[in-house]
Structure 1
């Protein structure tokens, strides 16, 4: 689930979806804005397998657990690489 398996395609693994989310966080975004941008990006970059909002939320949870994103004033922000 987190990494690709026989049943989970590489473009649907949570690490891949999390990376796609992180790429969209070049500025603080609401969850809805991030969801919209990820769906648009996936369409523009030929990722045919759709992801559900639940899968998107799991990828966000994973990013938060890894300390890579935070929620400040209802906006998702990517944490700097040097943040501890």
Structure 2
């Protein structure tokens, strides 16, 4: 579920979803704005499976757990970890 494997494609694993979320997080944004960016990008890519909001939230939770993002007053930002 976290890492891609034999039966789980990279775009469905939480690591892949988290990487996709981080790629769309260039500036401070709200969760709903970030969801729209990721969903639009995923829907325009014909090779990727559609992403549900549940998996998006799991990806955000994963990123928060590894301290890759911060949430403050409804605004999501990427951390400046080395």
Deviation at 1:6, TM superposition (A): 3.4
Size of the alignment, in residue pairs? Answer: 82
What is the TM-score with the length of structure 1 in the denominator?
A: 0.87
* Residue 37, structure 1, aligned to residue 37, structure 2: yes
What is the TM-score with the length of structure 2 in the denominator?
A: 0.89
Other-structure match for 1:19: 19
Q: What are structure 2's unaligned runs of at least 5 residues?
A: none
The two structures, once aligned, show a CA RMSD in angstroms of 1.4
Per mean C-alpha deviation after superposition, the further-off stretch among 44-53 and 33-42 is: 44-53
Other-structure match for 2:55: 55
Distance 1:76 1:8 in 2: 28
Summarize deviations over 1:32-73 as a string: whole Å, max 9, x none. Answer: 111110011223333431111111111100000000000012
Deviation at 1:8, TM superposition (A): 2.0
Other-structure match for 1:7: 7
The runs of at least 4 consecutive aligned structure 1 residues that moved more than 3 Å come to: 44-48
Alignment of 1:62-73 (within 5 A): 62-73=62-73
CA contact (8 A) 2:69 2:78 kept: yes
Please give the secondary structure, in 2, of the residue aligned with 1:2. coil
Deviation at 1:5, TM superposition (A): 2.6
